[in-house]
Structure 1
Amino acid sequence: MAYELTGKVKLIFDAKTFNSGFTKREMVVTVEDGKYPQEILVEFVQDKVTLLDALQPGQEVTVTFDIRGREYNGRYFNNLQGWRVESAGQGENPPPYDEAPPFPTPEDFGDNDIPF
């Protein structure tokens, strides 16, 4: 299940690559929540770390993420794993991977390319 949060980028950390080849990058988004703003840490893994390259602190964003949980030595941990970032007023950054390209129109084909 996907969740979203909207706020301002506070921090963007450098990418970390581990010996196993696993790569992650984290960012903190400040979300206005009544009297006390919340600072939410969101991690991006593997090919999604590049989504943070064009962002700057102070920028308004909407982050789409999944909640991941696990148990380790009797303790339980949760992570917010981001997979899409939309910059306010600029559309998505980069275009989402889960949308199909636009359907071609007849103008997209030359006179000799029509298959019927």
Structure 2
Amino acid sequence: MEVQGKIKLIDETKTFGNNGFRKREMVVTTEEQYPQHIMIEFVQDKCDILNAYQVGQQVKVSINLRGREWVNPQGETKYFNSIQGWRIENLQPAGNGAPEMPPMPPEDAFEPANDFKEDDHDDLPF
């Protein structure tokens, strides 16, 4: 499955327990009539994927839905869902999060070439 939208938040990596379980969360805001703020968690080695991304970027995140069953001390069964990310694709127009090129200035912003000679030789093939 995939979630597409703009990165709203990227949290720090958190470590839990004696075995060093790592988790990092991000929030992606969908762009639809009723935008949704979807929290996606990345675990273990997948936490480092988020290092290459910033708040505000347009992304497509590949996810897995996870469900768990837990019995509390009173014997009641509880169910929990989580959304785990495992890949991110950048959807920025300039690619790789690079800023877009600034627009070209209008041609009248340049001074005209006064010393141009038609018969000057150049090495252009056309």
Same-fold status (TM-score > 0.5): yes
Task: Write the letter of the residue equivalent to 1:80.
Answer: I
Q: Out of 69, 73, 78, which is 1:75 matched to?
A: 78
- What is the CA distance between 1:33 and its match in structure 2? 2.7
Task: Write the letter of the residue equivalent to 1:41.
Answer: M
Partner Cα separation in structure 2 for residue 75 and residue 32 of structure 1: 32
2:45 aligned residue: 47
Aligned pairs, number: 88
After the TM superposition, which residues 53-92 of structure 1 pair with which residues of structure 2 at under 5 Å, given as runs?
Answer: 53-73=51-71, 74-89=77-92, 90=95
Partner Cα separation in structure 2 for residue 80 and residue 25 of structure 1: 12
TM-score by length of 2: 0.66
Which structure has the highest strand share of the two? 1
1:48 aligned counterpart, secondary structure: helix
5+ residue gaps, structure 1, are 92-116
Pair 1:33-2:32 in alignment:
yes
Give 4+ residue runs of structure 1 displaced > 6 Å after superposition: none
5+ residue gaps, structure 2, are 72-76, 97-126
Over alpha carbons, which structure has the higher Rg? 2
